[in-house]
Amino acid sequence: MAEVLSQKQIDELLGNLQNGNTDISAIEEQTAAQKIKEYDFLSPKKFTREQIRLLQSVFETFARLLSLYLSSQLRVSCQAEVLQVEEEEYREFENALSDSVLVSIMGLHSSTYHVEDKQILVEMSRPISFSILDKLLGGNGSGYLVNRDYTEIEISLLAYLFKQFATLFRDAWSNYFDLGFSMDSIETNPQMIQSIQQDESVAIVVLNIALSDLQGNLNICLPASSLEELFKSYDAKFVKINKKEDDPTVEQKRRDDILRQLEGSPLTVSAVLGGAEVPLGELLELRPGDIIPLESKVGPESVTVNVEKLEWFRGSLGVFRKNYAVKIEKTL
């Protein structure tokens, strides 16, 4: 995860800049220099940029659904948003967990993509979980400063909550894949989670949840092995093909097919002879027989023909079969 400066470090940097102890030109040269990103060939990346963007989109949808669900269940203002989506090894995620946590092991199922016995982890911060429990049991949500383990009754209530999360996960993924989720178990000791190898690549999605004035995180751990079959299908269906490699005849046929399908689309065509601006006072005094002078003169190309709201042609006013008509004289 990205390094975050403490307030003390920020104050020291500002003090050095004000006192002239920091060489600004050296900092500018270092910033302008070509940046080299370290790459570990022993642990290559398993998630491409397209796949990370896919996860970002999926969990932004999940965050909106989660906000609506918690707001309706807890009767309190709730806002969830995606803070970051990044790839790291599972050991880094596990090391960041405290000795007493709340982790739901969710099952991932799909007969379409032959995905079975795959798991993802959902970890909820203690203040958020105890605040939700306080609201569910009739409190005002302020009883979240608790320094103890979860009781069996509390785990049962939270298990019901995570079962509802499984439905939200399914709805969030439905735009891309037909997936099913299940709440398999809840663990409060991270050492008991043995289904993921320490060196396995995982995608970590961090959601910030705000319940009134309280904020906490919902961390979702997605092992690369659990999403491997899904991403193969996604890459085959949604990754764009380089158009330069397309056969020109195939491209022309595609354009002709699109135009043929659009030929029957109804469009509104209007002919405008001219316009005028009239004060509201004069408009209210207009009577039958009054004349409104237009800004344009009658003559060649004096009529503008609009297709929908776009000026498309210029023409002249005339008569055709005893009906007013416009003769097209110029294409804009």
**Residue 122 phi, psi dihedral angles, 5° rounding:** -125, 115
- Predicted local confidence at residue 315, as pLDDT: 87
Could you tell me the end-to-end alpha-carbon distance of the chain, in angstroms, rounded to an integer? Answer: 55
Residues 6+ apart with CB under 8 A from 216: 124, 125, 126, 127, 128, 208, 209
Q: Which of 205, 208, 200, 158 is nearest to 183 (CA)?
A: 158
Render pLDDT for 5-19 as a digit per residue (tens, 0 to 9).
667 777 777 777 777
Torsion 176-201-183-209 (CA) sign: negative
* CATH topology assigned to domain 45-238: Chemotaxis protein chec (3.40.1550)
- Predicted local confidence at residue 2, as pLDDT: 47
Question: Would the pTM of this model clear 0.75, i.e. be above it?
Answer: no
- Predicted local confidence at residue 133, as pLDDT: 92
- Helix ranges (H only) for 75-196 are 90-95, 126-136, 152-173
Render pLDDT for 165-174 as a digit per residue (tens, 0 to 9).
999 999 999 9
* Domain ranges, ordered by start, for the chain: 45-238, 267-274+293-332
H/E stretch holding 140 reads none
Alpha carbon distances (Å) from 57 to 82, 84, 201, 206 = 9, 11, 20, 13
- The C-alpha angle with vertex 141 and arms to 137 and 145, in degrees rounded to 5, equals 105
- Predicted local confidence at residue 302, as pLDDT: 80
**Can you tell me which residue has the tokens 């932004």?**
60
* Three-class secondary structure of residue 187 per DSSP: strand
- Predicted local confidence at residue 170, as pLDDT: 94
Render pLDDT for 240-286 as a digit per residue (tens, 0 to 9).
544 445 567 888 888 888 888 888 888 888 888 888 888 888 888 88
**Residue 189 phi, psi dihedral angles, 5° rounding:** -120, 115
H/E stretch holding 17 reads helix 7-19
- Predicted local confidence at residue 207, as pLDDT: 96
Render pLDDT for 176-232 as a digit per residue (tens, 0 to 9).
888 999 999 999 988 888 888 888 899 999 999 999 889 999 999 999 988 888 888
DSSP-assigned letter for residue 212: T
Report residue 309's pLDDT band, with 50, 70 and 90 as the boundaries: confident
What would the two tokens of residue 161 be?
Answer: 């909550």
Q: Which of 154, 155, 174 is nearest to 166 (CA)?
A: 174
Residues 6+ apart with CB under 8 A from 85: 52, 55, 56, 59, 203, 204, 205, 206
**Can you tell me which residue has the tokens 């042609």?**
313
